[in-house]
Amino acid sequence: MKSVLIVLAMILLSACASRSVLPDSKQVKVSRDDAAKDCKEIGTITGVAASAKDNGREKALEDLKQEAANKGANYVVVKQYSGYGTAVTGVAYECP
């Protein structure tokens, strides 16, 4: 009986688990403008696309935004695109 109560309690507690507090990539703003002074720098990140064909630059930007979100950033300052547009480098920030 005690083990049944423990399992039931675990199931109920897992149902109450909250969602992730990391930003979604859709919430990440990408710009060439400097971040605001109250933003915290997280670090340099890179987004890549497998090919320059089929909107490679846009896919690289989406990858960059996902990388930023994974690190808890919500703002990215783009620093450089590769020659073929298959990679983009930027600096990720967490801004209030």
Overall domain count for the chain: 1
Answer yes or no: is 14 within a domain.
no
- For the segment 81-95, the average pLDDT, to the nearest whole number, is 92
Residue 37 lies in a domain: yes
23 to each of 3, 7, 19, 33, 55, how far by Cα in Å?
Answer: 38, 32, 11, 20, 24
Mean pLDDT of the chain: 84
* Mean pLDDT for the stretch of residues 11-30: 68
* pLDDT at site 7: 52
pTM of the model: 0.74
Full residue range of the structural domain in which residue 77 is found: 23-94
pLDDT at 16: 53
pLDDT greater at residue 54 or residue 66: 66
